[in-house]
Amino acid sequence: MELKEREKTILGAVVEEYIKEAQPISSNFLVENYNFGLSSATLRLELQKLTKQGYLCQPHTSAGRVPTDKGYRFFIDELAIPHSLGPEEEDLIKNFFEQVKVNLDSDISAFNRNLIKIMAEISKDLVIVSSLDEEENEVYYEGVLNLFQKPEFQEIKQIQGIFKMLEIFRGLSEDFLKESNDLKAQIQVFIGKENPFYNTEDYSIIISRSGFSLQRILDRTARIATRNVAGGPEKETEIFAILGPKRMRYDKNISLLNFIANLKWRMKKIKI
C-alpha cells in the first residue's frame, strides 16, 4: 500500500529524530517539536498504522517508535534530502587532494590512510578503503572508536561484527566484485540484512566503487608529465566504504563519498 503524504511526513520526522536522538520517538515528542496540526492521539494512531505496515517498530509497549530496515529504506529512497558538506569540510578535502597533484611521488598508501582519517572525522563513522589489483588487496580503516562511542556498539556481538566485516574486506578479490551484481552502481547503501558481505542486522554500510584508483591517477599524471601516455591497462579497483549504525547520517555520508569520487574523477581528467 502506498503511503499517503501525511504518513510520509510523519515517517520522515521519526527517522530524522531517531538518527539524532538514538531514542524511540513518541507522539508527544512529535507534538512538542513539529507543527503537524495534529493531536497526540491522532499522531499515535498514525504511528500505529506505520508500525502495522512495517516501517516502524515499538521496542517496548510504553516506548515510542524506531525505524525498521523497511522504514530506513523508504527514507533513503523517497524522503532523504541531499546534504552538502560544509565549506570547511570541502576545503579540507580539496586541499588534501591538491597535495597529490603537486607531488607525483606521493606515497599512495599513506595518502589513503590520511584521507580516511579526514573522512572518519567528518562522518563520525568507520571508513574503509580497499585497493584491489591482480597482485594484492590493501585495506585500511579509520574510525573504530567512533563506533564504540555509539549506543548500538556497546555489546560484544556488535564489536565482533565490526572486525568480521574488516576481515571480509581483506579477503575481497577482483573476481568477486566482477561477479557481484549488487555493486554495479557507483554508490550503494545496504541496510542491516541487505549487507552482501556479512549477515548482520546491526549496522548499515555505504559503498563507493570505482574502476580506477588514486595510484592509477598518479601513474597517469606522471606519464603525461613525461609525455609517456601509453601505460598499461587500468585493472585496479578501489572501494571506499562507510560503516555505521542503521541510524547513520545517510545523506551526509553519501555526499561525502560523492565528493571524494568527483575529486578523483577530476584528477583522472587532469592534463599537464
What does each of the 272 residues of the chain score in pLDDT, given as a tens digit? 689 999 999 999 999 999 999 999 999 999 999 999 999 999 999 999 999 999 999 988 777 999 999 999 999 999 887 777 999 999 999 998 887 665 555 567 788 889 999 999 999 999 999 876 656 678 899 999 999 999 988 888 888 888 888 888 777 655 555 544 444 457 889 998 888 777 777 889 998 876 544 444 444 434 434 444 444 444 456 789 999 999 999 999 999 999 998 887 776 555 43
Domains in the chain with CATH codes: 5-79 (1.10.10.10), 87-268 (3.30.450.40)
Sequence-distant (≥ 6) Cβ neighbours of residue 8 within 8 angstroms: 78, 79
Q: Rounded to an integer, what distance in angstroms lies between the CA atom of residue 56 and that of residue 64?
A: 10
Burial of 237 (0-12, 13-18, 19+ CB in 10 A): buried
Sequence-distant (≥ 6) Cβ neighbours of residue 112 within 8 angstroms: 129, 131, 138, 140, 214
Side chain identity at residue 120, one-letter code: A
Q: Rounded to an integer, what distance in angstroms lies between the CA atom of residue 65 and that of residue 112?
A: 39
C-alpha cell belonging to residue 211: 574502476
